[in-house]
Amino acid sequence: MIHSGNASGDALVQLHRGVRDEAAAEPAAAATGPVTKETQIIAIYGKGGIGKSFTLANLSYMMAQQGKKVLLIGCDPKSDTTSLLFGGRACPTIIETSSKKKLAGEEVAIGDVCFKRDGVYAMELGGPEVGRGCGGRGIIHGFELLEKLGFHKWGFDYVLLDFLGDVVCGGFGLPIARDMCQKVIVVGSNDLQSLYVANNVCSAVEYFRKLGGNVGVAGMVINKDDGTGEAHAFAAQAGIPILSAIPAHEDIRRKSANYEIVGIPGTQWGPMFETLAMNVADAPPVRPKPLTQDQLLGLFAGDVVGRNVVLEPATVFDMVGRNDVAKPSLEVVYDTV
C-alpha cells in the first residue's frame, strides 16, 4: 500500500513538472507565409446582415464548380448560412438534431446533419432560442459534436466557417483563439458599423498573434459596394487586401432575395466569383493593423458620424436637480515629520 502511494505521488510530481515546463516554453513564431496545410479552414466574419451568407453560398458553389471539395459550416445562431445554397430550405441543425437523437437514445450520423448540392457539402451548427442559452456556448458545443463525427479526419480542400463578427463572446472567437483556422476573411461594406466589426475582428487576430497564435487575415470582401470608398480606405489602412468588391446591383439583390445562386460559371456574375475563389485560395494570412477609434471615424465625413458634436460634462445638478453644498471634511490629518 505504501509503495502504491509513493508511485502515485511520483506520478503527480511528474505531471506538475510537465505542466510547468509546458507553461514556461516559448510559443512558436507566428507564421507569415502562404498556407501549406492540405485543407484550408477559413473563418469568415462580418456584421449581421452584411451579406456573409450570400458571399459564402456563391463562393462555395463556385469553388465546387472548379473541382474543389468544399464544406460550408454555418456558425450563426440564426442558422441561415445555407438557406441560399439550398434554395430557401432550412437545414436541420447539429445542436437540435443532437438533442433529439439523445432523447431517442440514438447516435448522430453524418447524413443527419450534412447535406450537399452540386458538390458543396453544408451544415448548420445552430444555437439556442432567444433567452434560453448562450449562442457562443452553443458554438463550442457544436464543434465538440463535429469532432466526435471526425471533423479533423475529413478530406476537404476548403472548410468555410460563417461567424457573426458583432458578437464578442468567446465561442464566436473560437477559430482565432484556438488556431482552428489558418486565416480569416472579413465581409464589410461602406458603412461605419460593418467596418467597426471588421476592425474588431482584426484586433482579435492581432491580439492572439501576440500571444503566439498563427491565424492571420487573408483579406476583405466588400459587399453592396456603392463606390463611396470607405471600405477600400479601411482595408488600405489595416494592411489587408481587397479580395472582391461585389457591387450594389439590383440584379444581385433580386436574385439573392429569391435564394438564387449567382456565382455560376458562364453567367453575368460568374467571373467575379471565379476571381474571388482564386483570391481566397491564394491569399496568405497576414497580421492586420487595427485602426484606432479616431482613425475609423476619420474614414467618414463629419456630417455622417457626428464629429462636430462637443462632449459636454454633466453636473451634479443635472443628475439630482440640486447643487449639494460641499461640507468640510471631519477627517483628521496628521503632519508627517
Angle between helices 94-103 and 135-148 (to 10 degrees): 70
116 is catalytic: no
List b or e across 118-157, with b for residues whose CB sees 16 or more CB atoms inside 10 angstroms.
Answer: eebbbbbbbbeeeeeeebbebbbbbbebbeebebeeeebb
Residue type at position 259:
Y
Active-site option among 112, 166, 179, 191? 166
**Which stretches of 78-118 are assigned E, i.e. beta strand?**
115-117
From the candidates 47, 183, 224, 255, give the one annotated as an active-site residue: 47
Is 47 an annotated catalytic residue? yes
- Rounded to the nearest angstrom, the gap between the alpha carbon of residue 306 and the centroid of all alpha carbons in its chain is 29
Active-site pick, 68, 78, 101, 116: 78
The one catalytic residue in 52, 183, 224, 255 is 52
Known catalytic membership, residue 282: no
Contact 276, 244 (CB under 8 A): yes
Among 117, 108, 184, residue whose Cα is nearest residue 146:
108
Distances (CA, A) of 36 to 32, 159, 182, 229, 315: 11, 15, 9, 33, 59
Residue 73 CB neighbour total at 10 angstroms: 25
73 backbone dihedrals φ, ψ, rounded to 5°: -120, 120
Count Cα atoms within 13 angstroms, Cβ side, for 241.
12
Strand pairing report for 216-225 and 183-188: parallel
Catalytic status, residue 78: yes
By the 8 A CB rule, do 162 and 74 touch? yes
115 DSSP β-pair partners: 122
Let me know: does 202 contact 238? Beta carbons within 8 Å.
Answer: yes
Active-site residues: which are they?
47, 52, 78, 166
